[in-house]
Amino acid sequence: MFSIKSIRSRFLIQLIFASASLIFIFSSVLYIYIEKSIYDEKKDELILYAKNIANNKSIFSNETLTSDAVFNLSVEVINLKKTYPYGEIDLYEGTKDKRIFLTLIYPFKLDDISYLKITKDITSTKTLLRKILRYIVVINIASFILVILYAIGLSKMLVVPVQTLSARLSNMNEHFMKPIKVEELPQEFEPLGRTINHLISRIQNFVKYQKELFIGTAHELKTPLAVIKLKNQVTLIKKRTPEEYIEALKITNKTIDEMNIVVSNILNIGRQEGAQLDKPVEVDIIAVLKQKADDFKLLAENESKTLHMYFEPSGFMATLQVSLLNQIVQNFLQNALKFTPKSKNVTIRSSQDDFGLLIEVIDEGCGIDESVDLFAPFKRQGNKSGVGLGLFLAKSAADALGAKIKLQNRKDGIDGTIASLQLNSKLSCILPRYK
């Protein structure tokens, strides 16, 4: 039922030990308090007897004293060689003939060193205390059993949500994955439920895109192979001039180059998956963006385009895989420059918001069809060349960073696209601005 590594067993042991300790301490304090209260009452009673006798008053002069109170009471005057300081009394307990007595030594006449020795049989009181102790022990045993039952029930109640999550997750596979209903979980397990749902969403996207990747790869490679085969068959039908053979080989080489591009992009996917396992390092995101923007600024000028840079704040530290961040920003800038006409502008900027750091690349191109999932593999738009794996790689990198990536058209009256990356890191901070 329980194991050493079980959280439930450790919780049970700690709860039972803590409850047993609390019951023992409380019971001990209670018994000591009851015993002391009874003994203090008996002591005060004997002192009152002694004061009445020493002051030549009747032992029954006090209204609270009755004949029952002085039953089994023995009073005698004794002389002691030992002298007590004035007003000091002595109280002790003794046993005789299986009876228990409480004895008080009280100063009577100091001139002849005489004392009152008042002895009272407290056997019945001792018997009562033993009964109280037995009752407390019985109550403690019953309480301890109830604590064990309560601890077992409570621990079972606490692990039910975990068992429910485990049961649901164990029944899932790549074909049957449903999000967990967070609202049905206890409040303490809601963050765990949201995390699991995020993981399920990532797995679903991964499976979806992997299937599309395999299908797209087969299609992208099959078409060039068919073209090469057809061209070769046509070439072999009849004898041709050397120039015609050379032209046919050039077309074949061009098709092979296109296939190499597809294979290279597929290899990049494997490299990216390896980069996701790299150890995250602490880096200044703004510095990375500035370096990448400086590299593309020269490319933009070479294409008669202008790259503008606006970075806020002046520094933003985060712990992540730098290669994945570079891949995303590089893809954004490549696409922006590719689809932006000459003499137009491309802007890269960053800003801080409540979520973290927002990175945006804005172009003045033709825009996109927002109804198409451009992050799927081999999805292309426009008349520009490309395999259609860049945004797929960017999306995979963003998922690995725990970031959000988005493409949307500009809404400021200018044609173009906004590619945004929302970074969020718990290990991030703003660097101070230096003037």
Q: What is the DSSP string of 321-341?
A: -HHHHHHHHHHHHHHHHHHSP
* H or E stretch at 16: helix 7-54
Mean pLDDT of the chain: 77
What gap in Å lies between CA 6 and CA 1, rounded to an integer?
A: 9
**pLDDT above 90: percentage of residues in the chain:** 7
User: What is the CATH code for 281-430?
Assistant: 3.30.565.10
Q: Residues 268, 274, 276, 282: is their CA dihedral positive or negative?
A: negative
Q: Which residues pair with 409 in a beta bridge?
A: 417
- Spell out the long-range contacts of 104-109 with Cβ–Cβ below 8 A and sequence spacing 24 or more: 104/43, 104/46, 104/47, 104/50, 105/80, 106/46, 106/47, 106/50, 106/51, 106/54, 107/54, 108/53, 108/54, 108/77
Per-residue pLDDT tens digits for 22-41: 888 998 999 899 988 988 88
The whole-number average pLDDT for the span 360-381 is 78
Cβ-Cβ contacts under 8 Å for 297 (sequence gap 6 or more): 307, 309
Residue 3 exposure: Cα atoms within 13 Å on the Cβ side: 2
Cβ-contact 180, 196 below 8 angstroms: yes
Angle of helix 390-401 relative to helix 242-275, nearest 10 degrees, comes to 10
**pLDDT above 70: percentage of residues in the chain:** 75
84 pLDDT exceeds 60?
no
432 pLDDT exceeds 70?
no
Split at pLDDT 50, 70, 90, the class of 433 is very low
What gap in Å lies between CA 386 and CA 427, rounded to an integer?
A: 37
What gap in Å lies between CA 132 and CA 8, rounded to an integer?
A: 36
Angle of helix 242-275 relative to helix 322-339, nearest 10 degrees, comes to 140
State the pLDDT at residue 362: 92
- Spell out the long-range contacts of 171-179 with Cβ–Cβ below 8 A and sequence spacing 24 or more: 172/200, 174/203, 174/207, 177/203, 177/204
Q: Please, what's the largest Cα pairwise distance for the chain? A: 154
Whole-model pTM: value is 0.48
The whole-number average pLDDT for the span 153-158 is 79
67 pLDDT exceeds 70?
no
Split at pLDDT 50, 70, 90, the class of 138 is very high
State the pLDDT at residue 275: 54
Q: How would you class 147 by CB atoms within 10 Å of its CB: exposed for 0-12, middle for 13-18, buried for 19 or more? A: middle
Can the peptide bond before residue 313 be classed as cis, meaning omega within 30 degrees of 0?
A: yes
Cα–Cα nearest to 222, from 269, 261, 259, 264:
259
117 pLDDT exceeds 70?
yes
Query: So where are the chain's domains?
Result: 7-73+117-146, 193-275, 281-430
What gap in Å lies between CA 265 and CA 391, rounded to an integer?
A: 11
Per-residue pLDDT tens digits for 403-429: 888 888 988 888 889 999 998 755 444
Q: Centre a 10 Å sphere on the Cβ of residue 328 and count the other Cβ atoms it contains.
A: 25
Specify whether domain 193-275 bears CATH 1.10.287.130.
yes
The whole-number average pLDDT for the span 177-201 is 75
State the pLDDT at residue 4: 53
Pairing of strands 114-121, 73-79: antiparallel
The whole-number average pLDDT for the span 353-371 is 86
The whole-number average pLDDT for the span 134-144 is 89
Q: What are phi and psi of 235, to 5 degrees?
A: -65, -35
Split at pLDDT 50, 70, 90, the class of 213 is low
Split at pLDDT 50, 70, 90, the class of 348 is very high
State the pLDDT at residue 339: 87
Segment among 67-76, 95-104, 113-122, 315-324 with least mean pLDDT: 67-76
- Give the pair of three-digit tokens for residue 237: 């039908």
Burial string for 33-58 (b: 16+ CB within 10 Å, else e) reads: eeeeebbeebeebbebbbebbeeeee
State the pLDDT at residue 187: 73
Cβ-contact 433, 314 below 8 angstroms: yes
State the pLDDT at residue 427: 44
State the pLDDT at residue 294: 87
Segment among 68-77, 268-277, 410-419 with least mean pLDDT: 268-277
State the pLDDT at residue 59: 57
The whole-number average pLDDT for the span 209-221 is 66
Identify which has the larger pLDDT, 400 or 386.
400
Per-residue pLDDT tens digits for 285-320: 899 999 888 888 888 888 888 899 999 888 888 888
